[in-house]
Every structure is written in C-alpha cells, then in structure tokens.
Amino acid sequence: MTFRELGLIEPILGALAELGYERPSPIQEKAIPPALTGRDVLGCAQTGTGKTCAFATPILQRLNAESVQGRPIRALILTPTRELALQIQESFEAYGKHLKLRSTVIFGGVGQAPQVERLRKGVDILVATPGRLADLYQQKLLDFSGLEIFVLDEADRMLDMGFIHDVKKILKWLPPRKQTLFFSATMPAEITELVDSLLHDPARVAVDPVSSPVEVIDQKLYYVDRGNKTKLLSSLLMAGNVKNALVFTRTKHGANKVAGDLQKSGITAAAIHGNKSQTARQQALSDFKSGRVKVLVATDIAARGLDIEELSHVFNYNLPDVPETYVHRIGRTGRAGHGGTAVSFCDINEKDELKGIEKLMGRSIPVVEDHPWPMEVFEPLPRDKKGRPVNPEDAEARAAAKERRRARDAANKAAAEERKAKAAQKAQAAEPAPAPKKKGERPAPTVSAEQTPARKKRARGYRASATLEEALTATAPARPVRESGNRREEEFHHTDPLAGDVIMDATARLLAPRPRMFQSKEQPRKERPARRSKSPRPAGEENGQEKRPSHSPKEEKQARPAQKKSMPAKALDVLGGGKKKRNGRGKGPGRPREVELRTDGVKDSTELSSSLMKPYYLSDD
C-alpha cells in the first residue's frame, strides 16, 4: 500500500515524497484512514514506528479542507517532553510545507515572551507540554473555544512523569465536541481508565506489543564490573563501525561523569538531562544531529522524544529499573526501516534488572564474552533495610548534588555581601561632607536621645507655661554634658535660678498670652454675654450691685461649696481646682488659658489679660 491509497491530498503527498517516505508503516496504514473521517483513534504501537506521521497528516488535511477566520487554535497536541514537542512541530512544518496552515510549539525552561508573540499572531496547530500550557492558559493567553482536534501523545510516559493530573485538568478546558487521537506505547490500568472517559467509539489500532522490540535491532550484552564500564565504552566507540551513539545512564551525575571521561579519551561527547537548561539541551541535540558531537549521554528523559535519523548505536551504560524502559531506549535506533545496534552493560548488581528485561521480551539477550574487561567481582553490594542494594553511583550522585548545593549557597552568600557592601558605599557617598569649621567657632552642643523629642515638640511653636515651675524649667540655661570615661556627668551653670532676670522671664512666660489673643485698639473686644442662670437672681444684681445676705456660721460653712462652684472655670484652672470644659468658647487645644483672679472686685495689674507689667516685687522704685 502507498500513501496515495490512504486518501492523502497532493500537497501532503509531495512533502512526504521529498522526505523520502515511500510506503506507510503498519501504524500509519491503520490509523490514517479513520482519522481522516473524523473518528477518535486509539493507537498502541512501540516507539519508532511512525506515530507522528500517523496523526499529523490527517490533521493537516482536515484543517486545510475548511478555512476559519482569525486563525483560532484548531488542533492541540500534548506531549510529555520538550524534545518531543520540538520534533513534532518540525514534523508538522515538514509535512505541511505546501499548505497555508501555521503551527507553533510552547514548552517550559525558556522565556515565554517569544512564544506568546507567535500565539498572538495566530496559529492553527499548537504543540505543547503540560506545564507551559497550563501556565499560559491561567494567564488567559490561550483560547480553546474553536478547538477541533486534540492529540495526546506518549500517554504512558505522561503517567510515568506524573503528568496525569495535569492532563485531566487540561481536558476540562477543552470543548466537549472534538476529535481525539490517543497514542501510547503501553496501556497500564490508569491509561485504560483515561481512555474510557476520553474517547467516544474509537477506532482501536494496535501494532505489535511493547514487549517485542524492533526485529532489525542487533542486541548485545557485556558482563563488566562497574569500574570498567567507561573503559569498555571508550574502546567500543573507537571501533570503526560506530557512526554515532546514544548512551543512557541512571543518574544525571552519571551522565556528566561519563561525558567528561569520554572527552578526556578524545571522543566528542555531550550530556543531556533535566538539570541542563533548555538552551543547553537544544544545543547538545543540534550538535549531535549535525555530527559535531559523536556521543550523546542522556538519562531516561531522552528515551522518549528523540527522533534521530540513522542512529547507529544505543548503549545502556546502566540497565533501567523498569523493563519497558529498555524497549524505549533501544527503540531510538532502527527507525524508519534502518538497522541499528543496542549494547548493554551489566555488573553483578544489575542481574535482577536483566532478568526482568528478558522476561518481558520472552527471550535472552546474546552475551559477548570475548572482551578486555570481563567481570571479576561476583559479590553483590550490601542492601539497605528495605532490601535494595546500596549503589555507589547513587551515593556519588547525592554527594555531587550536595556539593553543587553548597557551592550555590556560597555563591549566593558572596553575591548578597557584595550587594550589601555596594549599598553601604552608595549611602556613604550620598551623605553630605561636613562643613569646615571657621576659626574661633564653637562646636555645636551635644543633644542626647532623651532631649530630642522635647526639643522637637518645643520647636513647633511657642507655648505659654501653665505653672511657675514649668516656666523656670523652660527658661533655665542649657546644661552641657561632658564625657568622663564610661560615665556621663552634667555641669550646671553657676547662674542662680532665683535671680531677678530669671524670675521676671518666667513670670512673663507664665502670663503672656498667645498671639491670637492680641487685639487692636480699633477693634475693641466684644463683651461676652452674661450667662443665664437657671435660678432667679436676687433683686440687687439687676443694677449691677451684688447683694450679700448675712448668714450664720453654720449656713456660711454649708454655702462654701456652692461658692466654689460659682467661681469662673478659668480661675479654677489656674488654681488647679477646676476641670476643662469641652464645649466652652475658646477652649480648643490651640488657645491659652485666661487669668481672671478676683480680689473683692478689684483687679491687680498682673490679672489683666493684656498686661506685661512687672510684678510689684520687681519694681525699679
């Protein structure tokens, strides 16, 4: 069967011919026809069998048949890894090069600004990883109201990487009526439950079980001690039949170590794993595909999503813990009908993993016994409390991670101290330089922390003193402070606080009114209306004469409290026996007290509100 017989249109057929595609693979032959009709498809096939072309070509043909205004997102492809997302988007560009459809890819690890800019220009097909897709959707930068087709690729890998909950959340954002294409290499129970809730009457397409690796791959097994694996790897890579190689390790630290050892041996190598930035990962993959790097050392993150044409060798430096992962690893070679070789190293502590792999495949892997570094250590490593072997590589990885964390913390601490020092220098440079002292200039008086609030309070404005003691304190000379070792001593001026000028200033301060109380002669002070009393006045008070009734000593004693209450409130304030009135005229917090003392109706000169005369005891006579 040919691609033309599958019902594909000429622009897509031309693009496939330019890429060298002659005949469809089994998964393409079974999945493309139902997908073209709009049915849901459940595809189960091992890696490297052409699943991307199986769903990409029907999507391009269906979207090209109908034109939509505004370029909404009409097809969404969700993948677990960044590398796979990039390669799927490249496949859409290649298969649809003669069409006017537009596609783009979004993934994490890089800035979102360029991706958002492409989305704003409008795209028909979006390829994404779950994390970045959820992030942009929550920022309200994505709209799936016009979605027609949804593809979930490598669903079992989504489950392994912990994306299954993100996938379920994303499915709630999509419209209910859409075509769904579901592809996976394995079908665990969790994936089966998701399939039942996601697909409606799907066309089930299964091509070869996952336990059957591609027949064209030549598999080999070497028994070698852990310490000699790098030496054996170097010798095999230097052989003439290795064009390029993908090496899988258990840990990220192991990938870095193996790549560094190969470079020391003169072999161009690069590491790719989760701790690498997206830019570094893309650069390493690009160098490997172009041939500038011969060996790419990777963790299992690259077991899915790496589509490298004509990859000659895959090396399992460490056997995987999960048997299915072995099939995914060796499936990176032998793609598109090309041959390939898969070489695995096994030490004494990996025999349990080897048994699981051979049980899954149903056959044993051929062993190569004639090599320079045969196994010499036959005693397994000790096991922990849970029965797991204490692997030295894992201990090395933990120690390396701890050292990186310590170095990162030290660098952050040094950077913080440097920023602090720069801020201190900047603040010191911003402070004004002290003015040079003039000849004979006395130093400014020292102000203690206890004196500062009081001085600030007095600096707000003039305030008349309420008592003579307060006036004396306010007008007393300043008391300079001197230091004597660790002890503070105060020196007082020899000025007598009861000297005549001090008394005069204190008295004037006590009696002086505020500036608001001064009135010009042209505007005489208005007389305050007499306060009405609830009790009837005696007859003698109407003519301005006060009538003093005679009382007995007992009645006079009883009348004294009433007489005290009848005294003016201002006088009581000065004498200390009255309370402030809240609603009286001129009783706000900014008005001074008025001194109104009565002495049998005759006022002394010091009782006048506008008098600044000296008291009689300071008279110049």
Tell me the mean pLDDT per 10 residues along the chain, length 621.
Answer: 88 91 88 92 78 92 86 91 87 92 89 91 92 91 92 78 80 91 78 79 76 71 92 88 89 88 92 79 84 89 64 91 82 70 91 89 88 85 69 69 82 87 83 61 53 46 59 58 48 51 64 56 51 48 46 50 47 45 49 50 50 52 50
The verdict on residue 124 lying in a domain is: yes
Q: What is the rounded (10 degree) CA torsion for 114, 116, 122, 127? A: 90
Structure tokens at 89: 């988007």
How confident is the model at residue 475, as a pLDDT? 60
User: Rounded CA gap, 48 and 337, in Å?
Assistant: 9
How confident is the model at residue 345, as a pLDDT? 95
Last residue of one domain, picked from the residues 344, 378, 394: 394
Residue 281 belongs to domain spanning: 217-394
Same domain for 222 and 203: no
The verdict on residue 247 lying in a domain is: yes
| Residue 298, CA atoms < 13 Å, CB-side half-sphere | 24
Q: What is the rounded (10 degree) CA torsion for 405, 411, 415, 416? A: 40
Same domain for 242 and 167: no
Last residue of one domain, picked from the residues 394, 429, 454: 394
Shortest CA distance to 325 belongs to which of 312, 316, 335, 338? Answer: 316
Same domain for 199 and 304: no
The verdict on residue 133 lying in a domain is: yes
The verdict on residue 481 lying in a domain is: no
User: Rounded CA gap, 220 and 341, in Å?
Assistant: 8
3-state DSSP call for residue 41?
A: strand
Shortest CA distance to 327 belongs to which of 338, 311, 316? Answer: 316
Same domain for 184 and 39: yes
How confident is the model at residue 191, as a pLDDT? 74
The verdict on residue 256 lying in a domain is: yes
CATH number at residue 224: 3.40.50.300
Last residue of one domain, picked from the residues 375, 394, 413: 394
| Total number of domains constituting the chain | 2
Same domain for 232 and 337: yes
Q: Which residues are CB-contacts of 209 (< 8 A; sequence separation ≥ 6)?
A: 46
Same domain for 226 and 156: no
User: Rounded CA gap, 483 and 325, in Å?
Assistant: 81
Same domain for 252 and 324: yes
Same domain for 136 and 81: yes
Q: Tokens 């005229």 label which residue? A: 585
Same domain for 84 and 162: yes
Q: Are 447 and 455 in contact (CB under 8 A)?
A: yes
Same domain for 112 and 234: no
- Taking the alpha carbons of 613, 617, 620, 621 in that order, is the dihedral positive or negative? positive
How confident is the model at residue 529, as a pLDDT? 53
**E strand or H helix that includes residue 125:** strand 125-128
How confident is the model at residue 583, as a pLDDT? 47
Q: Are 505 and 477 in contact (CB under 8 A)?
A: no
The verdict on residue 226 lying in a domain is: yes
How far, CA to CA in Å, does 429 sit from each of 5, 348, 421?
Answer: 81, 67, 12
Same domain for 274 and 251: yes
The verdict on residue 457 lying in a domain is: no
Same domain for 387 and 348: yes
pTM for the complete prediction?
0.52
The verdict on residue 84 lying in a domain is: yes
314 phi and psi, to 5 degrees? -125, 130
Strand 179-184 and strand 41-45: pairing?
parallel
